[in-house]
Structure 1
Amino acid sequence: MKTQITLFVFAATLCAVQSARILGIFPLPGKSHYILGSSLMRALAEHGHDVTVINPFGEKNPPKGKYRDILLPEIIESIENRKDEFNMFEIGDLGPFVNIPILAYLMSDIGEMVLKEKTVQELIHSNEKFDLVIIEQFYNDAHKMLATHFGGIQIVFSTVGANFWVNSIVGNPSPLAYIPDVFLSYSPHMTFGERLVNTLCYLLNVAVHGLYLYPKHNSVGAKYIPNAPSIHDINYNASLVLLNSHPSLNQPVPHVPNMIEIGGFHIKPPKKLPQDLQEFLDGAKDGVIYFSMGSNLRSADLPLQKRNGILKTFAKLKEKVLWKWEEDELPGRPENVKLGKWLPQQDILAHPNVKLFITHGGLLSTTETVYFGVPVLAIPVYGDQKLNAQTAVSNGFGLVLPYKELNERTLREKLDELLNNPKYGDNAKSRSRIFHDRQVKPVDTALYWVDYVIRHKGAPHLRVAALDLPWYKYLLIDVIAFVAGLLLMGVYLVRLLLRKLCGRVSSKKLKKN
């Protein structure tokens, strides 16, 4: 009888969790960001939750169950109108000291556009309530006010693993001595100069957030959200941080208990390829090189000189090349090169004839190549791509070719090394085994922990005490000042004692004389 009662209670609890109302906020107009947000929210809907998602793109084939898109048409229109202003190949090498403030400014602009969208304003004034609000963290802290507004538990999702944006909100330590900023291409074993630059990046982030970002988001929130709380009141309320990372992909770093790694959760089992791709890959007796610069960068925007250098290199290869090319034609295309405006990347990487992946080094592409055990040649351009490329080099499953150094000679040298040295393929397969060696699938890990914080009403027992400490206590400034004061007092007393002793000795000598 006890067993039956226990099972009944467990089933009732499970049903209650599965009926939770969840709001997802994934506002960035970048396909890679949307793929991650969509994968998480689809999984939650299929798990039984009632899901609403604020996003720019929408689902063509919504999952079964309760699923609703709140679209952002004005953001897509604005980005389309301004896309000619931003050629990523031209601005990607500006460096972190320019990129950090620029990104903060641009994302603040997008954050305000999201809140003033008609669709979002209708939701804000609808009197709806949500049990849980999942927010993608990317310079958009004002959106966390919506968790308070809708009465929901706050969960933060980081598309790039642990970094400055999420560490501070949950009190996670991040030693600057071996954890480089997401915009830097440093290994964990940094030189003095690299540690200096890394420290300056950290200080710049502190200044940008404290002096610009938070005040800006406070004013934006107050403008568009009724009775909006202060950023400083809600910024540290995250019950859970889901990290798109894993030790097979990222260097191991500290995580407080409510930071959970789910890197690779978006990857699905391989599907059957379209017939033309299947025949192309099957017929490649010398193997295939897959080339894609991701969803945000366009190969078609490559400067003519670099494009021609790539074509000349490909023409001399015995391997076939499958290239994600966004235009109808590619002048000078060699016979061994096949083009596609859109290509099913995961299904292609799963094919046994794929020997190498030439990539921009985005985290999704890096994750997928590790999942399938394919070595990479990374040509990073901006953002976290340089750091991901450095990780591939450090772990021995790839090489990096800086974009500004890309030409026929350098590309040929890198390809010769990667295609003819088996260590890269062996290391890629080793990394893949580490990736797959988990107790449960990463998507199931995400589902478990989302349900966990719902069951435990925000799981406040996972919150670390660091969040309750003022900065001077956290950094032990008061203790250091106290110890320093004691030392100074000790030095002062010793000097005073020595002076008195010296004075007595001098007076005795004078008396004798």
Structure 2
Amino acid sequence: MSTVDRVAANVLGMENLTSVLEIENRFLSLLMTNTHFSINYEYPTPPAVVQVGGLHCVPSKHLPEELESFVNGSGDDGFIIVSFGVKVFGFILKNADVPDGIRRLFLSTFARLTQRVIFKGEDDSKIKDDDHIPPNVKLMSWMPQVDLLGHPKIRLFITHCGLNSKQEAVYNGVPFIALPVFADQPINAQKAHDDGYAIRLDWDNLMEEILYDAIQRILFDPRPRYARRMKQVSALMRDQIESPMDRAIWVVFFRYFSE
């Protein structure tokens, strides 16, 4: 917590801030957590702790015309999206920070697929001259992830498994491949892997055949276990009396402000 206090003081440009622990001990009467029992490990909570996981998950909107044309062009094969988070995680796919082999590993793997792939993290201007961009791959520096995950032609999500991305995938019932980096991502990925609706891979031993095999297992499992299990977990996440947003509003304004 002392580290959190230092970062807060630095970001806010303020000295003598009340510490997080002091705030918790003296003033805390409500804690809303970005968790839900369907995708997080279960734990007992007192009445002051309210789970509102998936608060940002909403039905998808129409895609921009160019993007809609690209995904609809995938036909029955559908499409895959690849995203490793917002700018704080962007270093994974920046040319300056990642060996050329990693980037080319992804591109050569995608070239073997019949699905179309939307790959967030780089655009054409950042690709080196000797890189080959397969015709089924679209590079984007930003994409409407929630709307793509809710599209009827989505088949698979490749992600760093940050909690928000995991919630969006489960909300929309899209199985995924997780390549976690740090913080909560490894435990998010492991839980999804253990629960049977995702495959966890590791950057340290990532090879083209390993990635390709994981994609094939999710897309073409004859049972199909990953899609079926994801459908079950998604139903659990959605089966709530009220939405997480309504729950958050109620607990803040009616439980506390009415006192």
| TM-score computed with the length of structure 1 as normaliser | 0.46
Task: Give runs of aligned pairs for residues 6-155 of structure 1, distance below 5 A.
Answer: 105=3, 107-116=4-13
Identity of matched residues, %: 36
Equivalent position to 2:80, from 275, 289, 295? 289
2:222 is equivalent to residue 423 of structure 1 = no
Q: Is the 8 A contact 2:59 2:150 kept in 1?
A: no
Alpha carbons 1:310, 1:407 under 8 Å: kept: no
Q: Which segment drifts farther, 361-370 or 230-239?
A: 230-239
The answer to which structure, 1 or 2, has the higher relative contact order (CA under 8 A, 6+ apart) is 2
The separation in 2 between residues aligned to 1:231 and 1:287, in whole angstroms, is 47
Q: Distance in 2 between matches of 1:270 and 1:233?
A: 41
- Is 1:252 the counterpart of 2:42? The answer is yes
Deviation at 1:356, TM superposition (A): 0.4
Q: Structure 1's 420 and 232: CA in aligned 2 closer, same or farther, altered over 3 A?
A: closer
Within a 5 Å distance, the mapping from 1:395-410 to structure 2 comes to 395-410=195-210
Of 167, 170, 173 in structure 2, the residue corresponding to residue 373 of structure 1 is 173
1:436 maps to 238
Q: Secondary structure at the match of 2:89?
A: coil
TM superposition shift of 1:281: 1.1
1:339 Cα offset (Å): 1.2
User: Which structure has more helix as a fraction of its residues?
Assistant: 1
CA deviation digits over 1:227-269, x for unaligned, max 9? x6x7765432211000100011112111111100000111232
Partner of 1:241: 31
**TM superposition score normalised by structure 2:** 0.89
Q: Aligned to 2:237, what secondary structure does the other structure show?
A: helix
| Gaps in structure 1 of 5+ consecutive residues | 1-102, 118-219, 457-513
Alignment of 1:179-258 (within 5 A): 220-221=15-16, 234-236=23-25, 237-258=27-48
C-alpha deviation, 1:276, in angstroms: 1.0
Match of 1:326 among 122, 126, 136: 122
Distance 1:104 1:399, change over 3 A: farther
- 1:311 paired residue among 90, 94, 107: 107
Match of 1:149 in 2: none
SS at match of 1:390: helix
* Structure 2 partner of 1:484: none
Runs (5+) with no aligned partner, structure 2: none
> Quick one: structure 1 residues 113 and 233, their matched pair in 2 at CA, closer, same or farther if it must change by over 3 Å?
closer
Q: CA deviation at 1:104?
A: 5.6
Shift of 1:398: 0.4
Contact kept in structure 1, 2:84 and 2:121, CA below 8 Å: no
Q: Which residue of structure 2 aligns with residue 137 of structure 1? A: none
SS at 1:339 equivalent = strand
Matched-pair contact (CA < 8 Å) for 1:373–1:429 = yes
Matches of 2:243 and 2:61, distance apart in 1: 18
**3-state SS of 1:424 partner:** helix
Q: Once the 2 structures are TM-superposed, how far is the Cα of residue 327 of structure 1 from its aligned partner?
A: 3.5
Q: Is the 2:55–2:244 contact (alpha carbons within 8 Å) kept by the matching residues of 1?
A: yes
Pairwise CA distance, 1:385 = 0.4
Note the alpha carbon deviations across 1:297-348, whole angstroms, 9 max, x for none: 2222432111111111111111111111234433311111011111000000
Q: Which moved more, 1:364-373 or 1:245-254?
A: 245-254
Confirm whether residue 359 of structure 1 aligns to residue 159 of structure 2: yes
Letter of the structure 1 residue corresponding to residue 158 of structure 2: I
| Structure 1 residue 290 displacement after superposition | 0.7
Task: Pick one of 173, 181, 185 that aligns with 1:385.
Answer: 185
Does the Cα contact within 8 Å between 2:155 and 2:174 map onto a contact in 1?
yes
Larger Rg: 1
- CA, structure 1 residues 115+318, in 2 after alignment: closer, same or farther (shift >3 Å)? closer
Counterparts of 2:149 and 2:102, CA distance in 1? 25
Alpha-carbon displacement from aligned partner over 1:421-480 (angstroms, at most 9, x marks no partner): 121111111111111100001000000001111212xxxxxxxxxxxxxxxxxxxxxxxx
Size of the aligned set, in residue pairs, is 245
Deviations along 1:35-82, one digit per CA (max 9) or x if unpaired, are xxxxxxxxxxxxxxxxxxxxxxxxxxxxxxxxxxxxxxxxxxxxxxxx
Question: Counterpart of 1:454?
Answer: 257
Verify: 1:302 aligned to 2:98, yes or no. yes
Residue pair 1:288, 1:356 contacting (<8 A) in 2 also: yes
Residues 5, 20 of structure 2: 8 Å contact kept: no
Secondary structure at 1:235 match in 2? helix
